[in-house]
A = this chain, B = another copy of it.
Amino acid sequence: MNTRLFTFAGGETGVWRIVRMETVAGEPIPSAARLDIIPGPISQEPHGAKWLLRGITSNERYVVREEKDHLVAKQPGLSRPEAVCAALIPIRKNASWWGLPQDERRKVFEEQSNHVKIGLQYLPAVARRLHHCRDLGEDEPFDFLTWFEYAPSNEDAFNKLVTELRASPEWKYVDREIDIRLLREPA
């Protein structure tokens, strides 16, 4: 069985060195030097962890067939040797968002915000894995954790991507967001 659950542990260990943490909206999280990504359920907290963020990959919530086919055709996998830059972006959306019926969330997500259309422009440069947190339990600090990997030469493109998304109507519903940038640099 493929692992769907991942724990992102910010602390003193892990192959990813944290180079910047920016609080885009809402409460910050403690700063940390390194990030470890642990697949599957964890039996004990990693040594020296400042925070643990858990998320689970799941079915698509908004993407329609045509978009899915485009995404599948263009999206690269994680762990490409050249993709030594990464971003972990935990996001929480507000109660108005979650109170909207499916068709209205979809409308904001794509017809108004072009979330997929924008994302497709940055493929295959940027690899991405989306983790859901909202239904893991009642007390999760974020609704989503998105993990991105790209080569240093694509850093400007990645910055453009997040700037475009943050300017979209969908982001009016985001009430907490942290932008964590990392470099693959085994200690």
Contacts and interface: CB of A to CB of B under 8 A. Distances in A.
Interface of A: 1, 3-5, 40-41, 56, 58-65, 67-68, 98-106, 132, 134-138
Contacts of A60: 101-102
A64 B136 contact: no
B138 A101 contact: no
Contact of A135 (B56, B63, B68, B106): B56
Q: Which 8 A-B pairs have the closest CB atoms?
A: A64-B103, A135-B135, A68-B101, A59-B98, A65-B101, A5-B138, A58-B135, A4-B138
A185 B138 CA distance: 30
Contacts of A64: 101-104
A104 to B, nearest CB: 6
Given A101-B67, A135-B136, A61 B61 contact: yes
A101 B98 CA distance: 20
Nearest to A56: B135
Nearest to A131: B135
B138 A103 contact: no
Nearest to A55: B135
Contacts of A136: 135-137
A138 B40 contact: yes
25 contacts: A1-B138, A5-B137, A41-B137, A56-B135, A56-B137, A58-B134, A59-B98, A59-B105, A60-B101, A61-B61, A61-B102, A62-B102, A63-B101, A63-B102, A64-B103, A65-B103, A65-B104, A67-B101, A68-B101, A102-B102, A102-B106, A134-B135, A135-B136, A136-B136, A136-B137
